[in-house]
Structure 1
């Protein structure tokens, strides 16, 4: 599959990206790809090893005469976000990604593409096999489970890496270089809430909010897109006067993707059904007006449910849960004053579940300030404690503090100016690059992050600009070669 990718330039990079598309690699299922890369490294005579967590390192000795150049680490993560359109059956643990080219961009058919971070991984592999490139000592570090938990970076072995310079290849804008990023943490809320059976006056109905764009919960959090969990809860609030009770709720699939769809089963008095439809129709129009030009596909529908012998939350429990979700932090909390135009703190209500009275929420808090991140988590604790829920914080990782005066950044900017005729935009990103974690484990590392233009990451709209991949490759190759020579 995807043989057309090998006709794109630069061919070595696209050939490796074809392998990544053909090899299933959702978070937690990278083993087959790791085995393939180890066999590939053996074929080239390249040394490789893994740390205790399973992160993979492949090494290549310096070109003759450049053994004393600073060691360069090419870094990316092997896993990809697994998102598919609701009407497209796709098993991310077994099925390859089907790709196609349209208007200069590479897309996937109804699924995420995996350009995040497949482009970076493919580039690193192409560098390792480039025998015409002059370079110092090279290490390629491929981490696991970045998209689900940052697990690979958080559990990376210390005193393992040898390089002095790290090039993170996980950014998504041509013409830009990143020198800082937000930290983050998962906030998880769980509760067992009281339920009762449906009485004879109630009917079971299915409420669905669909058609949103979704996207990356960091990069797209400030674009005004709808969050399906936030919006479906607004619908549930609108139905409180109709005495609706929650039977179940399923919204979002990943904590780091803006939820595109959310569904709830309701116990609704039959006599209130028409009133509920009227209220929802009015709300649907309000939401369409609010999201015009951003999420024009929003649909809010109420139809019969096939739930049999269902139990619903009690009226009090249903009201308390809906109210708590309604006021929970969601979206941009604060813009940065230190870095104008960059989100400082945000939260994504990524996954919400309710089944048989068991409630679960997973949110992803991001911030350039660890104190602000901790405060959002504490607000979740204070809020959901009111309904008897338990709150915990997991997978917390630090931000990456910018170093705008670094010699590495100066060399990159000089090369960019020389090869492309313009200075790159130096940026701080509101997303969880692994640089913050790696820098905490290896504080002597000098780091930058750059990559090709990727849009719609973490959603089935994900795509990569083909021309930007060639530009990214040329810059990476030139930088590796430049770093093999003494700075002037």
Structure 2
């Protein structure tokens, strides 16, 4: 138990505290799922787990509300595991340690998991409260949303009876979402071509740290630095100007997070050491000016390292570094119809050196399939010219807006009634599961809303305490206002 249990609404924060105490990164949600099943059964609620691992919990309607339209209240079970370099944390074993700072709840050195743990806690709090007014209710908790949307892909028709979906996975108080981007993963493999370490070279490790990172959909248009792209730029300069040879390189950890850190193991001629340090200092100064006010703590370092057993051939090194330089990253196009919303973007999320190859992973997002496919083709062309194999996996559709949505109108009217102002209606440049749900449940009328969460997918993640209270008030009032089935 932590101090967040003292916050209001107490039931929601109590569930979130429990969620934080049970490790649940993507692919490791089983323990949290078992706890929820045991809890639901102890409450006398009907609970099922489908073949994919999704949980479905049903709660009967409040007395007199049995004829209301059925609602599916939805969140995902998993969280993004990101930790600062100086934080020793095993996300599969260690609990998240939340802390209160003013109006915000943070974790200690790691992602908080408010994305989507607060939404999940709200779902459980609704199930737990016998006094709330609502019609027939189903809670859907999906698995592996962050790393592949596995649960949404695997959701089968016929398991759920509701007509309305309330998704809790958006992250701005005062905004209501009626659409989202689709996406696809680019998985790139370049065979490692090795040769012995040349004589007269010294091993050094280049480190890029201190970047903000962030969500590759929500923050991609804000001009934040990407450690993987900075790494490519530095490696190009070092190999061209200081005759550096590349042994290994690593950058980022998740395809849906803007890379915060990157490293490379290099061999540099003894005669070029001073030039290398001068070049590093030049780039440090350049990045400080270029990213001022956006990424103010970028740090570039060169340290002596143990000599490796091999380096890349010069031909491979040249192809790889140039491909990474040319790899599209960031916003590719802005929407012509929605202000400040990217139409298409891509994130160079992961670079990893393996025994026999270098692996690169990008996440491409777009509000339409044409934009997604255009960026995918560009990405493939760049890496195929370098001799890499490019495979696209996990393509998922966007959620197309329905301006005539009855549930959207109800949420807008309820927000205005409760808070005295209409919320902003938006489309989010992130991959909500709603688009995939339409495949199994095309009749669902859907809307997404949630509290303010900043820094998602990074250790800077924080959730507003006041916004959580407002989110809860809105959710409770919307559930109470769901119309009858014949309306």
Please tell me the TM-score bracket, short chain as reference: over 0.9
Shift, 1:349, TM fit: 0.5
User: 1:415 aligned to 2:408?
Assistant: no
Scaled by the length of structure 1, what TM-score is found?
A: 0.98
Counterparts of 1:258-407 in structure 2 under 5 Å?
A: 258-308=258-308, 310-356=309-355, 358-407=357-406
In 1: Cα distance, 2:127 partner to 2:482 partner:
15
Counterparts of 1:182-261 in structure 2 under 5 Å?
A: 182-239=181-238, 240-261=240-261
- Structure 2 SS opposite 1:147: coil
Contact kept, 8 Å, 1:73 with 1:163, in 2: the verdict is yes
In 2: Cα distance, 1:452 partner to 1:318 partner:
46
In 2: Cα distance, 1:356 partner to 1:35 partner:
37
Provide Cα deviations, 1:398-447, integer angstroms capped at 9, x if missing partner.
00000122111111111111110000000000000111111222110000
Shift, 1:46, TM fit: 0.4
| Residue of structure 2 in register with 1:146 after alignment | 145
Provide Cα deviations, 1:35-66, integer angstroms capped at 9, x if missing partner.
11111111111001111111000001112222
In 1: Cα distance, 2:410 partner to 2:71 partner:
14
Contact kept, 8 Å, 1:5 with 1:15, in 2: the verdict is yes
- Structure 1 SS opposite 2:146: helix
Show structure 2 runs of 5+ residues with no match. Answer: none
In 1: Cα distance, 2:27 partner to 2:108 partner:
23
Provide Cα deviations, 1:69-90, integer angstroms capped at 9, x if missing partner.
1110000001000000001100
Contact kept, 8 Å, 1:311 with 1:356, in 2: the verdict is no
| Residue of structure 1 in register with 2:443 after alignment | 444
Residues 156 and 391 from structure 1, CA distance in 2 versus in 1: closer, same or farther, beyond 3 angstroms?
Answer: same
Contact kept, 8 Å, 2:69 with 2:485, in 1: the verdict is no
Shift, 1:361, TM fit: 0.4
Contact kept, 8 Å, 1:195 with 1:356, in 2: the verdict is no
In 2: Cα distance, 1:465 partner to 1:41 partner:
28
Contact kept, 8 Å, 1:248 with 1:356, in 2: the verdict is no
In 1: Cα distance, 2:355 partner to 2:136 partner:
57
Shift, 1:230, TM fit: 0.3
Shift, 1:288, TM fit: 1.0
Shift, 1:484, TM fit: 5.2
In 2: Cα distance, 1:126 partner to 1:356 partner:
48
Shift, 1:485, TM fit: 5.0
In 2: Cα distance, 1:155 partner to 1:271 partner:
58
User: 1:162 aligned to 2:161?
Assistant: yes
In 2: Cα distance, 1:316 partner to 1:297 partner:
34
Aligned length: 486
Shift, 1:355, TM fit: 3.7
In 2: Cα distance, 1:198 partner to 1:233 partner:
21
In 2: Cα distance, 1:456 partner to 1:376 partner:
26
Counterparts of 1:10-49 in structure 2 under 5 Å?
A: 10-49=9-48
In 1: Cα distance, 2:270 partner to 2:375 partner:
40
| Residue of structure 1 in register with 2:71 after alignment | 72
In 2: Cα distance, 1:380 partner to 1:195 partner:
25
In 2: Cα distance, 1:485 partner to 1:156 partner:
26
User: 1:102 aligned to 2:70?
Assistant: no
Show structure 1 runs of 5+ residues with no match. Answer: none
Contact kept, 8 Å, 1:22 with 1:97, in 2: the verdict is yes
In 1: Cα distance, 2:438 partner to 2:146 partner:
19
| Residue of structure 2 in register with 1:92 after alignment | 91
Scaled by the length of structure 2, what TM-score is found?
A: 0.98
- Structure 2 SS opposite 1:146: coil
Shift, 1:238, TM fit: 1.1
Shift, 1:193, TM fit: 2.8
In 2: Cα distance, 1:258 partner to 1:163 partner:
36
